[in-house]
Structure 1
Amino acid sequence: MPRLDIIIGPMFAGKSCEIIRMVRLLKVCEKDYLIVKPKIDNRYSSDEIVSHNYDKEKCIAIQNLTDIYSYCKSYHNTIFIDEAQFFKDLKEQVLNLVENLNYNVVITGLDGDSNRNKFGQVLDLIPYADSCKKITALCQICKDGTPGIFSYRKSSDESQILIGAKDEYMTVCRKHYFNT
């Protein structure tokens, strides 16, 4: 039976690490998989998903999720979609992959932007998901183990999409989201 699993959270929470961990388990079981990410995510590599601590796995970078069909094979057990918030056709294509083509799909993405607004279509897929796991980082200001639940943009740039890592963002708790 195909599954849809969603992993959401702020930046630096370990969402890409979760994909890498799951991929390594599939390798042990000798299962085939496909990892895709949006072309816009070129922070560390154009052909790998890379965690913020530089753990990595090979992937295919695509512009739109409709491009995935060129790479999907019937022998793929699971399709992983990293940084899913950037795909404008996410909901339609993920539902097709799971419900019509019978793939297991795991998506990771931000649950909100740096203004705490919905970002892309990730949250729209929760009603269809077998599981949804929200993970957190640590507040980079408290530095005492307080969960960091929000992605905080260090610059005053107001655009929703600003590709960056620690140079542009940090993860903060609720208190520091309002007092930073």
Structure 2
Amino acid sequence: MFSGKTTRLIEIGRKQKEMVVFKPDIDTRYTDRPVLHTHDGVEFPAIKIGINRPTEIIKKLDSLPNKAKIKTIAIDEVNLYPKGLIGVVNKLLERGYQVIATGILLDTEKGDFGQTSALMGMAETVEAIYAKCAFTGCLKPAPYSFAKKVKQTQVVVGAEDLYGAACADHYELLHVPGRSEGVTPIKQASIDQLVDYGIYPAYAQWLREINYPHNRKVTQKKSRWPKIEIGGDGYAMGKTKLMKQLVKLLRRQRLAVQVIDQDSQAQLKGGAAQDFDAQVVFKAEMKYSKDKFQAYGRLSSAKATIVCVPPEMEFNYAVANTVVGRISLQQFYAYEEKYFALGWEKFLAPDILVYIKADQKISGEKPEAFMAVLRVVNRAWLAGIDRRLKVVEVERELLEKEKGAETVAALIWKTWQALPVAYNNLKE
């Protein structure tokens, strides 16, 4: 955005008198009138088209009194139209028109935006125009758009109040990630890093399309026992060590404590993909998800609860095992169906989720590819959780220090005390 696409289109239009311009009707950022309108206030006549009715371009073109004189068709903001626009452009080309299309290539999550990339593949000439990065003092070209507020859908019409332009170095600093049910906030940069581990590139789109589980609800009940779950970038992160320290702390507070300490990957860790029997891994994934579901069903509502590895992260283990080739796609889809059929929505989300983060290497244990994928997938899930859920992020290095687990446990307890929850009357 803010690169001057519309300005460039107006420049072409003023030179080519035999050109007609179409624009999406939802683009009302500056005016409702049928004109192109730049961020600087420059205008040019245009015909408005419903974004879900791209065939209107043909109909409105045919109804123009000067149709015979028109040689060039320009379509602004092609990123806002559905796939039907491609067929319309092909028909215009068959009629002998020159077609000019302008649009944004990537959305704010760095994913393909509308029909821009498809039209680039059809074009004889592609002109890339970049804005300057919005980061203070940075003048680098900005190939990315960033959101200044949380977006629930890909298409949200806005101007400087909602969007900005960023270079590769400053995108992550400026961007506010959005969330929509069933949409994975996996960054392209994260996917690119996985290629270094030999991950098949086709899995990039697959990882974005997975319906990651966010079906447990956050409770608003004021009087309840603490429920804490511990996850992280991978296994061997210090989760069990922290869990034991939390149990000690809660018992010192005279709270009865119950624990679920089940981690399927603790039984499967180590080795390359070819060292694993797919059926063994598949059965283990199925077994541990079912076992954990049954363990949640046995929990008492009259005790504090600490869970090592949230059930959603067990699901993420299956995703990572699929990407590195330990289980097949067919096995994953069978697992996915069984996982959601269990009915996790009957259980509440934790009051506090502790997420242990590691450096890029993640773990000195093998296999690196699995751990790299798991890190990307777990963080994607973390970015999509209910924002009312309290998340405490902890660096693994802190847990490895002397009395590090005690320090983190004390922090978690303070976080719990700060929540709007009355627990004093629940003590033993």
TM-score range for the pair, normalised by the shorter chain length: 0.7 to 0.9
Structure 2: distance between partners of 1:97 and 1:18: 22
Instruction: Give 1:32 deviation, angstroms.
Output: 1.6
Aligned partners of 1:90 and 1:122 also within 8 Å = no
Letter in 2 for 1:15: K
* Pairs within 5 Å for 1:34-113: 34-46=20-32, 47-63=34-50, 64-72=53-61, 73-88=67-82, 89-98=84-93, 100-113=94-107
Letter in 1 for 2:159: A
Larger strand fraction of residues:
1
Structure 2: distance between partners of 1:85 and 1:138: 21
- Taking only the aligned residue pairs, the percentage that are identical comes to 31
**Match status 1:127 vs 2:121:** yes
Structure 2: distance between partners of 1:65 and 1:154: 30
SS at match of 1:35: strand
Partner of 2:132: 138
Larger helix fraction of residues:
2
Q: TM-score, normalised by structure 1?
A: 0.87
Instruction: Give 1:144 deviation, angstroms.
Output: 3.8
Cα shift readout 1:27-46 (whole Å, capped 9, x = no counterpart): xxxx3211110111111123
Q: TM-score, normalised by structure 2?
A: 0.38
Letter in 2 for 1:81: I
Letter in 1 for 2:14: R
Letter in 1 for 2:56: D
Structure 2: distance between partners of 1:92 and 1:169: 30
Instruction: Give 1:163 deviation, angstroms.
Output: 0.4
Aligned partners of 1:14 and 1:135 also within 8 Å = yes
Deviates more, 1:56-65 or 1:106-115: 56-65
Partner of 1:22: 12
CA separation of 1:22 and 1:104: change in aligned 2, threshold 3 A: same
Structure 1: distance between partners of 2:15 and 2:160: 29
Gaps of 5+ in 1: 1-10
Aligned partners of 2:58 and 2:88 also within 8 Å = no
Structure 1: distance between partners of 2:152 and 2:130: 23
CA separation of 1:65 and 1:139: change in aligned 2, threshold 3 A: same
Aligned partners of 2:55 and 2:85 also within 8 Å = no
Higher relative contact order structure (alpha carbons within 8 Å, sequence separation ≥ 6): 1
Partner of 1:3: none
CA separation of 1:61 and 1:32: change in aligned 2, threshold 3 A: same
Structure 2: distance between partners of 1:143 and 1:77: 44
Aligned partners of 1:15 and 1:109 also within 8 Å = yes
Partner of 1:167: 161
Q: How many residue pairs were aligned?
A: 165
Gaps of 5+ in 2: 62-66, 175-428
Deviates more, 1:167-176 or 1:64-73: 64-73
Structure 1: distance between partners of 2:49 and 2:70: 18
Aligned partners of 1:48 and 1:59 also within 8 Å = yes
Task: Report which of the two structures shows the higher radius of gyration computed on alpha carbons.
Answer: 2
Aligned partners of 1:43 and 1:163 also within 8 Å = yes
Partner of 2:421: none
Partner of 2:18: 32
Partner of 2:243: none
Instruction: Give 1:131 deviation, angstroms.
Output: 0.5
Structure 1: distance between partners of 2:23 and 2:139: 30
Q: Which runs of 4+ in 1 moved over 4 A?
A: none
Structure 2: distance between partners of 1:143 and 1:59: 36
